[in-house]
Chain A
């Protein structure tokens, strides 16, 4: 029996669906400016191999690195009504959506999936900052509700990776209403006695921070992530003074008692496995991982072809 057969075929994702990038492509570190091999950088989860700076990572890439063997199954998210307010600024909202979909090859700003980490079944949700700033609208709300419902149904913990500039202004009050909506979702998990772990990534701000992203049983952040309610520029305008070095960064929040841990992305997977298994009162994880699937196995599993640029 193939190790992959108990997964639903057409919806499966694996490391092989990753968009191939040529080996000779270089990327520049946002922070130290080092030129890094794209492949090397992506194998290090977009953490600079020179200075340790954490660059953005898409939910799909994150899940491929998080789940055992890079295998996960997407959880369906009910589609909300589109453009409920008929919002128009300089562009129409549906046009902005289309542009974001084209840019990211994703349909919205959150990806929900289930799979195993260290052979521990979990549900995970990750917010996509590259999709309209990761902004929280009705879709993101639906995604968190779907994730929580799935977790409760399967009796699994939920691990959520946040990244957002805040609420989706184009959905007006309905984006604001995702604060209570997602809070209800988190309450479902808590009442089912299931762990809810939040990993705050750069940046997590506004209404997102002031709702589901601050309600975890365990709150972890990636190094140097900006985490705040009001952004530093708004505060500087209000109080008319310079803010201290590192203000609102993960380490600063840790110092002020707002987080449990600050953990490097490259150590996160092991740490999540450890924490989740203890909260579930399970035995320690077996060290070592499933081997990566061979290309033949992956194609047999019916992975999606790489998407178009």
Chain B
């Protein structure tokens, strides 16, 4: 059962009608509804295409947060073999909002790190909705150091509303942990790839996404602040999130024009949540090609390439 977003309501109605007809036909064998149902399917397809051809930034944000979108865990399960989670920051705790460990990508050993939001009430709470605490960033730092020591590429999957704004998180140095994680990204001398699979929420995302190659899924978003947060500050009205989403330029397409991401990974029609396998398979291809691009770079080149990428960022604005 698909969960529809508010703007998909007309689509839900049509798909619902088709479903209803088919259910009726199953009850009553004499009913011939196939022609009518097929017409509805066709109409639904056309509408889906239309809706997804012209998504506003706010709608993309909603899709990026869709609960049925493939999450970090799904990508890790599908794309890597021998995934061996490694836990803990060796200091305080293991943060379940951050997954990470050793794995093989096409036989090549790598370190994979990502935010996991969870997919039902229980796992969402366990994962703290993908909002990492300092322990999560410190775990990531440890894993990046491990990768650097043994020459393994680092692949990060970014999907977080932001770092957790909590009392303990602040007391244990949330800012310092994020700053050190970003710093670590800029110190390791192995290939580093980052994919924004859903939400790239502010500093909590940067701490994982300071990579040689940054890719964004077609309907993912990456922003300095949530549209709601921006709206409540600049418009003094959280309901102005549509305007804020527009102004902030949070889409994969706008950000590519600004040089923030190198690649936009196409999603299946109707978003990654409508066809998880298709989305995951596009991500596989993207990782392969990005690793391939870096395979002849020396350790020093990998580091200087990454630093230069970020130093140069912002040299171009968007066309008027």
Q: Which residues of A contact B (CB under 8 A)?
A: 80-81, 83-90, 138, 141, 145, 167, 169, 171-177, 179-181, 183-184, 186-187, 206-207, 209-215, 227-230, 234-235, 238-239, 241, 243, 247-248, 256-258
Contact = CB atoms under 8 A, between A and B. Distances in A.
B279 to A, nearest CB: 23
Contact of B260 (A177, A183, A184): A177
27 contacts: A81-B316, A81-B317, A84-B317, A85-B248, A87-B247, A89-B247, A172-B224, A174-B314, A179-B182, A181-B314, A183-B186, A183-B210, A207-B224, A210-B176, A210-B207, A211-B178, A214-B175, A214-B179, A215-B180, A228-B170, A228-B175, A229-B174, A229-B203, A230-B169, A234-B165, A235-B167, A256-B172
Contacts of A214: 173, 175-176, 179-180
A14 to B, nearest CB: 34
By secondary structure, the B interface counts as helix
Given A169-B224, A184-B186, A214-B179, A86 B318 contact: yes
Interface string B72-96: 0000000000000000000000000
A220 to B, nearest CB: 15
Contacts of A211: 178-179, 182, 203
Contacts of A238: 164-166
B320 interface: yes
Contacts of B171: 256
B182 A138 contact: no
Contacts of B210: 180, 183
Given A81-B314, A174-B314, 12 more contacts: A84-B318, A85-B248, A86-B317, A90-B235, A169-B230, A172-B223, A174-B313, A176-B206, A210-B203, A210-B207, A213-B175, A230-B163
A167 to B, nearest CB: 5
Interface string B157-196: 0000001111101111111101110110111000000000
Contacts of B311: 145, 181, 184
Contacts of A183: 179, 182-183, 186, 210, 310
B230 to A, nearest CB: 6
A198 to B, nearest CB: 11
B224 A173 contact: yes
A174 B307 CA distance: 16
B249 interface: yes
A179 B165 CA distance: 18
A211 B186 CA distance: 12
A184 B179 contact: no
Given A169-B234, A176-B223, A179-B203, A84 B170 contact: no
A174 B163 CA distance: 19
Contacts of A243: 167
A174 B222 CA distance: 11
A180 B182 contact: yes
